[in-house]
Chains A and B, each alone.
Chain A
Amino acid sequence: MKTDRAFTRAIPAALVLTGMVLTLLFIVAPLIVIFHSAFSKGLSFYVDSIGDPDTLHAIELTLLTALIAVPVNIAFGIAAAWAITKFSFRGKKLLTSLIELPLSMSPIVAGVSYLFLYGMQGWLGPWLQERDLQVMFALPGIILVTMFVTSPFVARELIPLMQAQGNDQEEAATTLGASGWQMFRRVTLPNIRWALLYGAVLCTARAVGEFGAVSVVSGNVRGETNTLPLHIELVYHDYNVVGAFAAATTLTVIAMLTLVIKTFIELRIRKAGQSTTSL
């Protein structure tokens, strides 16, 4: 009887310990090895790697891509969530699945799809060529495919939240004479701001880190159409492993910031949830 109780008390400890050790080995160790490798040739090598013109250009291109793709997908996410949660119409479920479609598609498949649309062997390629418009293997292609891959992130955070919040507050505002924009800014936006921010953060993290889809459409021209993840691959295959890790630390820091912001926002949402339930 006594050993039985000791046994049941040991189970939680064993489970927690197993979970912690597995997480440290499986998820935390890769994080540590990135920084360990990046600084393995000393600080000056690290600074030189980051300051390399090709690296700087890749960072610039990556930021530019995110700067265009993320705001567009924020607008798309808000519009989609508004249409889906505030009104009833046929085919709503299908629309929701369509919005989530890019999440379950391989990035390579996404890239190939764009190639068969805008590339020379695709539908629009010859037409674009005649007008001297370069989409594939150029910046427009990189931005378009990034928009594809990151399109679900904001909508996906907003839809369940706005569904749970219902229409009452907005309807009251409209009935009291608020214009559409006033109602959105004063009622909806404050209610959804944390989820919106969270969606935007996830969207940004993916936009700066997308690799597979972009590598199909970029053409990999060093110093021209190489985004940061592609640049990392290139440097890695140049047998400059330490340089690759140095460049990778920039994206790793962004990823870690994402996690910190996410944790902060979740605390906020939890607090907000508690204050509304206690009302």
Chain B
Amino acid sequence: MLTRAPRPRIRRVLPGFGVTLGGTLLYLAIIVLLPVAALLLKSAGVGWEGFWNLLSNPRALASIRVTVVAALLATLFNAVYGLLMAWILVRYEFPGKRFFDAVIDLPFALPTAVAGIALAALYARNGWFGGALEPAGIKVAYTVLGVAVAMAFTSAPFVIRSVQPVLEDIQPELEEVAATLGASHLGVFHRIILPMIAPAYITGCALAFARSLGEFGAVIFIAGNLPMKTEIAALLVFIRLEEFDYESAAAIAVVLLLIAFITLLVTNAIQFWQARRSGAIA
């Protein structure tokens, strides 16, 4: 099964192993690991029962629910929008293609607070979009939908940038053969392309979801932040800190951290399983 060939012991020709690895580990330990350890220890300090008590607070539960529901909605949108954009950017030529390819990355380059006030202005009742949507009965600002819009904006590039390079590598011959053998367009997409892009697609969606869960700056301006209704978990952490309720802040922060971890772990597991399966076929 998984027998690994013994790695030949090569003498290290290149210099700098000790310095660069040592420096990397030291920096990571001080800048990343130590603070995260401090957070985990803080929340561990209250014990399991205390942790559950802090979390079972209705406002905390509601904020986690709002966050997860909005992040799912945002990821669903980006799963469709991202795949569409990756597809047209790789497969078709159209006017302004370079502009669209570049502007797709705007959500990563634009500070989240700036995105937040811009989205709030657009979707407010007197804004360009809000003014058109609200008469139609669709309220975005100050609703969960608004939270989802902000999350979708800030995480939009993940799916596109994950899928794009994989699509570029797929040889058109493969599809042509399938088409010659009588497969329909949808059939080719379903049977040939989708399985090939699946690992990258899933990774992109998972990254977008993890990012949406933690988004703060873009969301708080458009959300209205009504407790129990449109208050996200990240904001509740912030509010608890300002109330000097450090235990509650730590507990909710740890939940956010864990959901992001689990999302990425599951993604890694799916990719590993995919790689093994496709390896078995080849």
Contact = CB atoms under 8 A, between A and B. Distances in A.
Interface of A: 8, 11-12, 15-16, 18-20, 22-23, 25-31, 33-34, 37, 76, 79-80, 82-83, 86-89, 95, 98-99, 101-110, 112-117, 121-123, 144, 147-148, 151, 167, 170-171, 174-175, 180, 183, 202, 205, 208-212, 215-216, 229-230, 232-233, 236, 241, 244-245, 248, 251-252, 254-256, 258-260, 262-263
B106 to A, nearest CB: 6
A8 B186 CA distance: 11
A211 B113 contact: yes
B227 to A, nearest CB: 17
A171 B107 contact: no
Interface string B234-270: 1101100100001001100100110011011000000
B70 interface: no
A121 B152 CA distance: 35
A243 to B, nearest CB: 11
Q: Is the interface of A mostly helix, strand, loop or mixed?
A: helix
Contacts of B216: 106-108, 211-212
A1 to B, nearest CB: 15
Contacts of A102: 32
A29 B214 CA distance: 24
B14 interface: yes
Q: Is the interface of B mostly helix, strand, loop or mixed?
A: helix
A167 B102 contact: no
A215 B222 CA distance: 18
Contacts, number: 268
Nearest to A205: B109
B7 interface: yes
B20 A31 contact: no
B34 interface: yes
B28 A98 contact: yes
A28 B100 CA distance: 9
Interface stretch (B35-43, B46-54, B139-147, B273-281): B35-43
B19 interface: yes
A12 B38 CA distance: 53
B6 interface: no
Contacts of A26: 81, 152-153, 156
A89 B18 CA distance: 11
Contacts of A121: 42, 246
Contact of B20 (A28, A83, A105, A209): A83
Contact of B100 (A20, A25, A104, A151): A20
A234 B207 CA distance: 30
Contacts of A86: 14, 16-17
